[in-house]
Amino acid sequence: MEFAILAESFNKMEATRKRLELTQILVELFEKTPHDVISKIVYLIQGKLRPDFEGIELGVAEKLAIRAISKSSGIPIKKIEDEYRKSGDLGHASSIILEQKTQTTFLVEDITVERVYETLFKIAKLGGSRSQDMKMKYISSLLNDATPLEASFILKILLGTLRLGIAENTVMDALAIAFSGTKENRKKLQHAYNVSSDLGKVAETIATKGLEGIEKFEIILFNPIRPMLADRVKSEEEAIEKMGNEFAAEYKLDGERVQLHIEGDKVALFSRSLENIESYYPDIIEKIPKNIQADNIILEAEAVAINENTGEFLPFQELMHRRRKYKIEKAVTEYPITVNFFDILYCNGKSCVELSYKERREALEKHVKEDEFAKYIPMSIVKNENEIEDFMENSINAGSEGLMLKMLDKPYQAGSRGSHWLKLKREYRNELGDSLDLVVIGGFFGKGRRTGNYGTLLLATYDEDEDTFPSICKVGTGFSDESLDQLYQILHPKVSIKKNPRIISEMEADVWFEPELVIEVVASEITLSPIHKAAKDVIRKDAGLALRFPKFTGKIRVEKAVEDASTNEELLTLYKGQKKVAHEKNLM
């Protein structure tokens, strides 16, 4: 397939932010795409080469790209740098420069999607001392044969600056329309995506095997399954109302969710946002295979930091010490953990997600042996408010956050938040009833003691309908010096020159971040605001929701995907809830 077709589509996609228009451009592109390249096209659209969990990074530095442009075009480095400075985007700058150049250049051969993809893949795989030269050779050979438009997009992919703002849902809508005639079939694709986390594979399946292939789509060992999530309830009473008269209560431990894929000694570990986290947990890799009584298995557990002397659970932040590249062995001994299993999703070649909770718990206890390091999450079947309260008491005393309540007869719903699992936290840590998980979209440089850090952050909710991140507040309190440093380390690499099109904000930040990080905040109230964009126009025309007195709780939720952040819907429920309370107070 000619790369020019893809470059043209990229060009059109860059010009719009509207989901419907993006979908239409994608449908037209997919219809022109041969089936054997569709997976590659789907990855490239998202600026990737493979699904995220494989962790393949292109990692080409700007300097190297500039040298490669210079080498392939004969234009001096200085001139390229000047143009780059003017436009702020090297991809764009290169197309302007090469435009001037091609008037005298004779193009050698058309480049194909396959060639671009394979070359990028080789670049991503290169390492070692000679890798810079090799990378440069590969890049300049591609640029040699590329038109200015093609070159600009090749560079954007290489540098990680292709930001079309296309979410998975939009890609799935387009795939459903292109290959089954209607968007209605998105749900079936969603299921395949939920159990594989690989959109390229989903695209290839629907293109080559149609809907039938999608319906037969099975769990693949070592491909992470998108996690099931829980709704929140505020009281034991509300839990009983929603759950009926008998259900399971489990401790809600405050650690990191880990999905384990094991076959013999081979182990893969994925975080809640499906990132590969093996390097942080060498102890899990080493010890857990001994506890498994099955040929292969997929399990879910909460890894929790513990006090080795008392066995007490420690808060999530303790695990952050393990998020380092070097001296991980030291961190492993300094911050010991236990692995607390709560679900089984696959065993001996068969899916377990269709089994009921009760059957899964039995299977878990059958196939995993307990010891000092590997535990089953404490669970009790409860029938009334008293029993929930008693178990809650035990859970809080052990150092956990509260309870997870789970329906006994329900399957595991990969990738969805629903009422089959509920979370009930003990303390209502603020006047709103619960903390909020918000997406960091922008930053403001700090002053005084905070110079050199981002002193204030701009935060957003997740709008599920539009697939965007509308602003909700600025937050500048609750930060310790340590957390400011830590946030800077995490956020600095996410700075983007252009505001990602999924960010909706009228407020101008000093820097925009790629929407990738979730932090926890509390606040005193939700108010209407003419500036912020969350749930805009829903309560009142031209007003969005904003948080009053927001405060960072200290929890950087690195394990959460931005699509798991608090949604507009949740904010609206909280807003309406507080209005009712205020109203009742006035009546009294």
Give me the residues that bind ligand AMP (CB under 6 A), please.
Answer: 230, 250-253, 257, 272, 302, 342, 377, 404, 423
- Give the sign of the dihedral formed by CA 350, CA 351, CA 357, CA 360: positive
Q: What residues are paired with 340 via a beta bridge?
A: 302, 375
**Annotated catalytic residue, options 135, 156, 252, 406:** 252
Is 252 a catalytic site residue?
Answer: yes
Helix, strand, coil percentages in the chain from 3-state DSSP, rounded to 5: 45, 20, 35
Specify burial of residue 190 (Cβ count, 10 A radius: 0-12, 13-18, 19+).
Answer: buried
Q: Which CB sits closer to ligand AMP, 242 or 423?
A: 423
Contact 240, 384 (CB under 8 A): yes
- 3-class secondary structure for 209-245? HHHHHHHCCCCCCCCCCCCCEEEEECCHHHHHHHHCC
Smallest distance, ligand AMP to C-beta of residue 247, A: 13
Cα Dmax for the chain? 83
Smallest distance, ligand AMP to C-beta of residue 238, A: 16
Smallest distance, ligand AMP to C-beta of residue 181, A: 37
- CA 317 – CA 254 distance, rounded (Å): 9
Smallest distance, ligand AMP to C-beta of residue 376, A: 10
Helix (H, G, I), strand (E, B) or coil at 300: strand
Smallest distance, ligand AMP to C-beta of residue 256, A: 7
Q: Which CB sits closer to ligand AMP, 79 or 423?
A: 423
Q: Within 10 Å of residue 517's Cβ, how many Cβ atoms?
A: 21
335-338-340 Cα angle (round to 5): 145
DSSP state of 565: S
DSSP state of 562: G
Contact 60, 159 (CB under 8 A): yes
- Which residue carries 């809830």 as its tokens? 577
Q: Which CB sits closer to ligand AMP, 251 or 479?
A: 251
- CA 575 – CA 527 distance, rounded (Å): 8
Q: Which CB sits closer to ligand AMP, 257 or 367?
A: 257
Smallest distance, ligand AMP to C-beta of residue 244, A: 19
Smallest distance, ligand AMP to C-beta of residue 274, A: 12
Smallest distance, ligand AMP to C-beta of residue 95, A: 43
- CA 461 – CA 467 distance, rounded (Å): 10
Q: Within 10 Å of residue 320's Cβ, how many Cβ atoms?
A: 19
Helices (H) and strands (E) in the chain, counts: 20, 21
Q: Which CB sits closer to ligand AMP, 342 or 462?
A: 342
- CA 219 – CA 206 distance, rounded (Å): 16
Nearest residue relative to ligand AMP (C-beta): 257
Q: Which CB sits closer to ligand AMP, 61 or 398?
A: 398
Q: Which CB sits closer to ligand AMP, 150 or 256?
A: 256
Contact 63, 80 (CB under 8 A): no
Q: Which CB sits closer to ligand AMP, 6 or 422?
A: 422
Smallest distance, ligand AMP to C-beta of residue 358, A: 15
Q: Which CB sits closer to ligand AMP, 236 or 250?
A: 250
Q: Which CB sits closer to ligand AMP, 43 or 251?
A: 251
254-257-258 Cα angle (round to 5): 145
Helix (H, G, I), strand (E, B) or coil at 196: helix
Q: Which residues contact 295 (CB under 8 A, 6 or more apart)?
A: 263, 264, 348, 349
- CA 489 – CA 327 distance, rounded (Å): 18
Buried b (16+ CB within 10 A) or exposed e, 138-148: bbbbbbbbbbb
Smallest distance, ligand AMP to C-beta of residue 295, A: 26
Q: Which residues contact 570 (CB under 8 A, 6 or more apart)?
A: 436, 461
Q: Would you please indicate which residues are annotated as catalytic (active-site) residues? A: 252
